[in-house]
Structure 1
Amino acid sequence: MPTTLTNTSVRQKTAQLLKGLCNGLYEREQSIKLALLSTVAGESIFLLGPPGVGKSLIARRLKYAFRDGTSFEYLMSKFSTPDEIFGPVSIKKLKEEDRYERQTKNYLPSANIVFLDEIWKAGPAIQNALLTILNEKIYRNGGEDYKVDIRGIITASNELPPGNSSLDPIWDRFLIRLEMGNIRQFKNFLNMITDTKDVYEDDVPEDVKLTVNELEAWSKEIDAIEVPAEVLNTIQVVKIKIEEH
């Protein structure tokens, strides 16, 4: 992609990308679009919905948007430990160097796309580490801070977090919160249950997938956008109204 981006080139690229990501899915276009948007913007998204509506499928398909993309997914429970998410402690480092450091390869800190199901069941130790990753894309390992290359964090649950809980800081970090439901149109439902296509198949052409250079170029273009005064005024009014409420 050329260094100077045009609206047409970005639109065409995005349209091709979404076509591949949505291929074989029914009534999940909005979910895919918002998940991709949050990832390109470097933000996180929370999906709310009952089991079986495709929350994990969205995350698994999203990794195909990136060239050489890697993913990590985990189903949280109250018994989940940091070892299962961030990697086991290196016995060799602990024994030879007296250094408490995790082996993060193939775990969350080394992935590009992360999916955490039943996020509200995470324990305090997991919550604290996640908060730093969500806030600053930094993971502290062995006494040192490491910049993680996580492009998108998708979380899901079939319930909202308990009110006035320790999970409030994590909840605040999800700028996009989407409720997903069952397929509404009966025709789409019949097509889904009779469709023999493998929904986990990668349908995105290699030349359409996003590269690191493209993401960096898009990021610079995004940062260069000037927010109109009308938008800033509207945001200010909304903020005041929220505080009054």
Structure 2
Amino acid sequence: MSWPEETTRTVNLLAAVERKLDGWFVGRGAAVRLMVLAAVCQEHLLLIGPPGTAKTDLISRFCGLVNASQFRYLLTRFTEPSEIFGPLDFQQFQAGTYRVRTTGMLPEADIVFLDEVFQGSSAILNTLLAVLNERSFDNGGTRQHARLVSLFGASSELPDDPALLAFADRFLLRLEVEPVARIRLHELLDRGWQHQTEQLGGGGVNTSPLVSVSDLGKLTRQLRHVRLTDVRSRYADVVAELVARGVALSDRRIVRGLKLVAGAALLRGAEVAQPRDLWPLRHIWTEPGDAEVTKGVLDDHLGAVEDGSGGRSVTALLELAHQRVRQLDDYPAGADGSAVMTTLRVLNQEVLQPLQRGHPHEHAAIDTVRGLINQVTQRLRQTT
């Protein structure tokens, strides 16, 4: 079997969506990759981190590129359900029927972004549970279909309230979003000023849609045709080790993780999942303290996996990068420009370029190497 032409076309267009978003935002490659995966798998993504990390703008531009209707809102303890699901329909209420008008509200949106998602009242979160799980919204005495593809939530931290655990578990994918100014300041300033000048000039970035929500839906249905036979044993080994190390994973997360693996394979145009398609498991942890353990286990299992063309694994390339940067500590700052130049050459030619060629979807690793290159570039400036 080979993928239909329409499937291949949509996969290629989603790769173009990733490239465009990567070009607009600094250090958000991992978030972009997970947003695309979540939309294809119709799962939900939680972004954890401080304000000011471009989460809202990133999601807005993603919606523009996939031609999705969006609903976004900042939740507080005082947010009313009507602000999320719609106001009371007074005309029907006077006729004796309780209904809300959902036009332009969450039940009729394709992509939803809720900032400070755990601040909502129990009435809001309980209603959201049905929307997230069943794509349905109880509107008065009738059950209304919700168009939701994915809900992207943002929070400065995960809740410790046991009452919120069931709701939090609906976010299968999680990512800790950190500010990038410390390691990529100059790139952030350059890119940020470019965006500002575009806005001041009355223009702005062209976000003409590349993919339709209908295209996404058709791609989602193709997930059932991805063969997982070759990775089932390794998947089970990874999950068993995570559980043995105390990583909290519900049965729901373990089972739905297989869909993420199928999505990873489909997004690289493959019909058969391979071990490298296990990368989404890095993001299925439940507790923040488990994030590093989960990443370590996946790195151990995937570190020996080649890119299929005889190249080095992601883990090996990252280790080479960190090793070369650590070697610079043997030189006082400003003492040896030739060593710094050699390190820059290695980082660019022997690490970054092989990563981009052999592992083009490993955005987090690529961002890490770019950050190291920026650090070494700063050191080079001190030698001149």
- State if a TM-score over 0.5 links the two structures: yes
Change (3 A) 1:83 1:189: same
Partner of residue 150, structure 2: 152
- Alignment size in residue pairs: 238
Contact 1:21/1:64, CA 8 A, preserved across alignment: no
- Corresponding position: 1:104 with 2:102: yes
Partner of residue 45, structure 2: 45
Q: What is the alpha-carbon distance in structure 2 between the residues aligned to residue 202 and residue 145 of structure 1?
A: 39
* Higher helix fraction (1 or 2): 2
CA RMSD for the aligned pairs? 2.5
Q: CA deviation at 1:56?
A: 1.2
Partner of residue 203, structure 1: 206
Partner of residue 174, structure 2: 177
Q: What is the alpha-carbon distance in structure 2 between the residues aligned to residue 235 and residue 149 of structure 1?
A: 34
Q: What is the alpha-carbon distance in structure 2 between the residues aligned to residue 146 and residue 239 of structure 1?
A: 39
Write the mapping of 1:94-173 to structure 2, written as runs, cut at 5 A: 94-96=93-95, 98-161=96-159, 163-173=160-170
Q: CA deviation at 1:6?
A: 7.8
Q: What amino acid is aligned across from residue 218 of structure 2 in structure 1? A: A
Return the structure number with greater relative CO, CA threshold 8 A, min gap 6.
Answer: 1
Contact 1:65/1:204, CA 8 A, preserved across alignment: yes
Structure 2: gaps of 5 or more residues: 249-384
Q: What amino acid is aligned across from residue 4 of structure 2 in structure 1? A: T
Q: CA deviation at 1:244?
A: 9.4
Q: CA deviation at 1:48?
A: 0.8
Q: CA deviation at 1:8?
A: 5.5
Q: TM-score, normalised by structure 1?
A: 0.87
Deviates more, 1:16-25 or 1:56-65: 16-25
Identity %: 27
Q: What amino acid is aligned across from residue 209 of structure 1 in structure 2? A: V
Contact 2:40/2:217, CA 8 A, preserved across alignment: no
Q: CA deviation at 1:194?
A: 2.6
Q: TM-score, normalised by structure 2?
A: 0.57
Partner of residue 244, structure 2: 241
* Higher strand fraction (1 or 2): 1
Deviates more, 1:229-238 or 1:138-147: 229-238
Q: What amino acid is aligned across from residue 39 of structure 1 in structure 2? A: A
Q: What amino acid is aligned across from residue 83 of structure 1 in structure 2? A: S
Q: What is the alpha-carbon distance in structure 2 between the residues aligned to residue 36 and residue 233 of structure 1?
A: 25
Partner of residue 77, structure 2: 78
Q: What amino acid is aligned across from residue 80 of structure 2 in structure 1? A: T
Partner of residue 316, structure 2: none
Q: What amino acid is aligned across from residue 19 of structure 1 in structure 2? A: R
Change (3 A) 1:244 1:91: closer
Partner of residue 219, structure 1: 220
Q: What amino acid is aligned across from residue 197 of structure 1 in structure 2? A: E
Q: What is the alpha-carbon distance in structure 1 between the residues aligned to residue 90 and residue 244 of structure 2?
A: 54
Q: CA deviation at 1:26?
A: 1.2
Deviation per residue, 1:95-127 (Å, 9 max, x gap): 11x111110001111111111011111101001
Change (3 A) 1:53 1:4: same
1:185 match: secondary structure: helix
Contact 2:77/2:121, CA 8 A, preserved across alignment: yes
Q: What is the alpha-carbon distance in structure 2 between the residues aligned to residue 29 and residue 101 of structure 1?
A: 42
Q: What amino acid is aligned across from residue 222 of structure 2 in structure 1? A: E
Q: CA deviation at 1:240?
A: 5.2
